[in-house]
A and B are shown apart, each in its own frame.
Chain A
Amino acid sequence: MHRFANPARFLRLAKVILPWSNAVAALCLGAGLYFALLGSPADYQQGESVRIMYVHVPSAWMGMFCYVAMAVFSAMALIWKHPLADLLAKATAPVGAAFTFLCLLTGSLWGKPMWGTWWAWDARLTSMLILLFLYFGYMALVNAFDDPERGHKAAAILALVGAVNVPVIKWSVDWWNTLHQPASVVKMGGPAIDSSMLVPLLLMAVGFKAYWISILILRGRAEIAAQKVRIIRMAQIHAAAQGE
């Protein structure tokens, strides 16, 4: 892990990974969308609207996964002062927020025909909404300081504090009697859905993860470049001040 604290090494590794993650994302999302929209049967209860699930469920997984990743990066940054972990945590936040929003949006589009309502205040939905606000808080805090270093540190602590929400989301359907159905893919005794539906679901999930890796690399690169620009500018100002 500490090997990759060196930005140059990270950039070299990123160059190798990026084409692969792009290809995996494109292939999995393409195949997943084909199976989700055309190549899978309609549900006997939900009809065609079950197809929303192929976006909704992986988005929800990603929303939580990105938060956990952000919290782990933040912990790494605070404990080992790992310089890249800060940047990666910051790069993950908008992706996680976008997926969380997508999850809430597709959920309400599905909820209208199925539950007869766009929104219900049950534990799963509410805790997911709080997750979205935690992402917003993180992103606001990271950018609230003149010194970017200070923003990273403060936001890292916030990410760790907010991590208490993740297990609450995960088990909210078991702890409370919710409108949202309990877990059916990851549970004891194997998944409770048919393989014709499981395959597109997993393809979409893998595609989303690969997409996240690509975005992480691109944003990480951009952050490193921005830091270089900042340092060069500072050096120029310093040189100009010396010359006078």
Chain B
Amino acid sequence: MNRFFEVVRRDLRLALRQGSDSVMVVTFFVLTVVLFPFGIGPEANVLERVSAGVLMVTALLASMLSLDRLFQADYEDGSLELLVLTPAPLGMVVAAKMLAHWLTTGLPLMAAAPVLAVLLHMHEDGFLTLLAAMALGTPVLSLVGGIGAALVLGARRGGVLLSLLILPLYVPVLIFGVGAIDAAVQGMSAKPHLLILAAMLAAALVLAPWASAAALRQALE
């Protein structure tokens, strides 16, 4: 367990000292969301209707754009090989890196989301559910995205390829996340949607580090 937190600390330290990564993700999130009122017009009722979808889709894209720094830099400078060689199980190291990724992307996105929800005139009944859906959904994005990031190591045009691999797998998170917020805004219970999101998180928590570790082993073979 010590080794787990050691890897988390290392990744967090790298992310914070190199500075701009988290800020860039949030900036991308804010800028893209702000584009929508220009694109579809500033009418409050239209924006309110699409707010849940816009927030979840842009959060998903922002999270995906930051995936390459999960393994790519470590792969290029060789430290990934050292991490694989540590006596700790590789799945645990990978899970630690995914946790660090979520802390530096998912968490800032969650912090920014309510402010943007105000800008999009989201109904205030949806705010709590928005936070809950993002708290359950963004870790799934980091976990599942980690598999893709490990698979494309060393590939040609890895960035575009990553989106092709990962976006289809992100769709369920999007469907149930938006479903939860819409249900809450319309005065229905958001619980079933949130429970399914939680189930996806539970499954991804167990399976994704394992699959990602398998992919890393292939990449470093």
Question: Are B211 and A130 closer than 8 Å at their CB atoms?
Answer: no
Q: Tell me whether A80 is interfacial, beta carbon within 8 Å.
A: no
Chain B interface: which of A20-28, A104-112, A137-145?
A137-145
Which residues from chain A contact B211 at a C-beta distance below 8 Å? 157, 160-161
Within 8 A of A (CB), among B151-177: 151-152, 154-158, 161, 164-165, 167-169, 171
Q: Tell me whether B219 is interfacial, beta carbon within 8 Å.
A: yes
For this complex, into which size category does the number of interface residues on chain A fall?
20 to 34
Q: Known interface pairs A145-B154, A157-B147. Does A126 touch B171 (Cβ–Cβ under 8 Å)?
A: yes
A interface: dominant SS: helix
Count the B residues whose beta carbon is within 8 Å of the partner chain — how many? 21
Q: Tell me whether A94 is interfacial, beta carbon within 8 Å.
A: no
Question: Are A154 and B168 closer than 8 Å at their CB atoms?
Answer: no
CA distance A162 to B154 in the complex (A): 21
Q: Known interface pairs A133-B167, A141-B152. Does A153 touch B161 (Cβ–Cβ under 8 Å)?
A: no
Q: Tell me whether A134 is interfacial, beta carbon within 8 Å.
A: yes
Q: Known interface pairs A78-B214, A145-B156, A162-B169. Does A154 touch B151 (Cβ–Cβ under 8 Å)?
A: yes
Q: Tell me whether B116 is interfacial, beta carbon within 8 Å.
A: no
Question: Are B147 and A137 closer than 8 Å at their CB atoms?
Answer: no
Name the residue on B nearest A137 (C-beta). B165
Q: Tell me whether A166 is interfacial, beta carbon within 8 Å.
A: no
Interface hub of B152, B155, B167 (most chain A Cβ within 10 A): B155
Q: Tell me whether A199 is interfacial, beta carbon within 8 Å.
A: no
Q: Tell me whether A158 is interfacial, beta carbon within 8 Å.
A: yes
CA distance A29 to B205 in the complex (A): 46
Question: Are A133 and B168 closer than 8 Å at their CB atoms?
Answer: yes
- Pick the contact of B161: A126, A134, A144 (CB < 8 A): A144
Question: Are B215 and A144 closer than 8 Å at their CB atoms?
Answer: no
Question: Are B168 and A150 closer than 8 Å at their CB atoms?
Answer: no
Question: Are A141 and B167 closer than 8 Å at their CB atoms?
Answer: no
Name the residue on B nearest A121 (C-beta). B175
Q: Tell me whether A4 is interfacial, beta carbon within 8 Å.
A: no
- Pick the contact of B151: A126, A134, A157 (CB < 8 A): A157
Question: Are B151 and A130 closer than 8 Å at their CB atoms?
Answer: no
Q: Tell me whether B189 is interfacial, beta carbon within 8 Å.
A: no
Question: Are A140 and B161 closer than 8 Å at their CB atoms?
Answer: yes
Q: Tell me whether B45 is interfacial, beta carbon within 8 Å.
A: no
CA distance A33 to B182 in the complex (A): 46
Q: Known interface pairs A161-B147, A161-B211. Does A144 touch B155 (Cβ–Cβ under 8 Å)?
A: yes
Q: Tell me whether B27 is interfacial, beta carbon within 8 Å.
A: no
Which residues from chain A contact B157 at a C-beta distance below 8 Å? 144
Name the residue on A nearest B168 (C-beta). A133
Question: Are B169 and A161 closer than 8 Å at their CB atoms?
Answer: yes
Which residues from chain B contact A150 at a C-beta distance below 8 Å? 154, 218-219, 221
Which of A's residues lie within 8 Å of B, judged by CB?
Answer: 78, 126, 130, 133-134, 136-137, 140-141, 144-146, 150, 153-154, 157-158, 160-162, 165
Which of B's residues lie within 8 Å of A, judged by CB?
Answer: 147, 151-152, 154-158, 161, 164-165, 167-169, 171, 211, 214-215, 218-219, 221
Identify the 3 closest CB pairs spanning chains A and B, nearest first.
Answer: A144-B155, A153-B218, A133-B168
